[in-house]
Structure 1
Amino acid sequence: MAAILYPLTTEKAVAGIERENKLTFIVETSASKKQVRDEVEKQFKEKVRKVTTLIALDGRKKAFVRFVKPGAAADVAAKLKIV
């Protein structure tokens, strides 16, 4: 089962790429932080520092993924064609 559904591309999420080295994904509501971390590291070959999750009012689960290497979020965003 794929934990990650799609990246979030709101203005705030895109600003987090540059400011905080962080990407935001919409994930399965049943996905754990460890599952999200493992999938991001496997798909994008970048080490993850921290994963924070929340369930929004609309019922979607968001995962905020912060990377270890400076600029890694921008590299991954470029691969995903976000920026």
Structure 2
Amino acid sequence: MPATTAAQKVRKGSKLTMTKKTRSTVHFHRPKTLALARNPKYARRAVPQPAPMDKFNILRFPVTTEAAMKMVEDENTIVFLVDRRANKGAIAQAFKSCYEISPARVNTLIKPDGSKKAFVRIPAGTAAVDVASKVGLL
């Protein structure tokens, strides 16, 4: 090292002032590392997942018993067998998208054999008989 640079270092001083980060919390966390997307070599499940429910899977078919026909005439209600996993909102939405009529109310029950039955009440202004013929009941 030449004498001039040594003299400069002595004049300047060897200590550099560093600014320190102000810590706002007493806990120290390691920084987050790179998270790569999963790219499996093989499927971890042997059985594929069931297909997501769409309007055709939710409303399976209308019930055609005499009691159900009486409900169509007397109570403005159409009875469907529906997917067991479907909730009332999904049933109402599926009915509206299939038949262009927004139901007034949906009641459900689970039958002893494990299937789910939905009672779809048609609004008072619309005749359930017309909707039932559109569905294919009459």
Give the TM bin, normalised by the shorter chain.
Answer: over 0.9
| Counterpart Cα distance in 1 of 2:73 and 2:66 | 12
1:64 alignment partner, SS class: strand
Matches within 5 A, 1:63-78: 63-68=118-123, 69-71=125-127, 73-78=128-133
Cα offset for 1:81? Answer: 2.4
2:75 counterpart residue number: 20
1:30 counterpart residue number: 85
- Which amino acid is the alignment partner of residue 135 of structure 2? L
Q: Which has a greater percent of helix?
A: 1
Give me the identity figure in percent.
37
Residue 56 in structure 1 maps to residue 114 in structure 2? no
- TM score, norm. by length of structure 2: 0.57
Which is higher, the Rg of structure 1 or of structure 2? 2
| Counterpart Cα distance in 2 of 1:82 and 1:6 | 10
Unaligned runs of 5+ in 1: none
Which structure has more RCO (C-alpha within 8 Å, separation ≥ 6)? 1
Number of aligned residue pairs: give it. Answer: 82
2:30 counterpart residue number: none
Q: Which contiguous aligned blocks of 4+ residues in structure 1 show a shift greater than 3 angstroms?
A: none
Task: Quote the RMSD (CA, aligned, Å).
Answer: 1.0
1:10 counterpart residue number: 65
Cα offset for 1:74? Answer: 1.1
- TM score, norm. by length of structure 1: 0.93
1:79 counterpart residue number: 134
| Counterpart Cα distance in 2 of 1:9 and 1:60 | 16
Cα offset for 1:76? Answer: 1.7
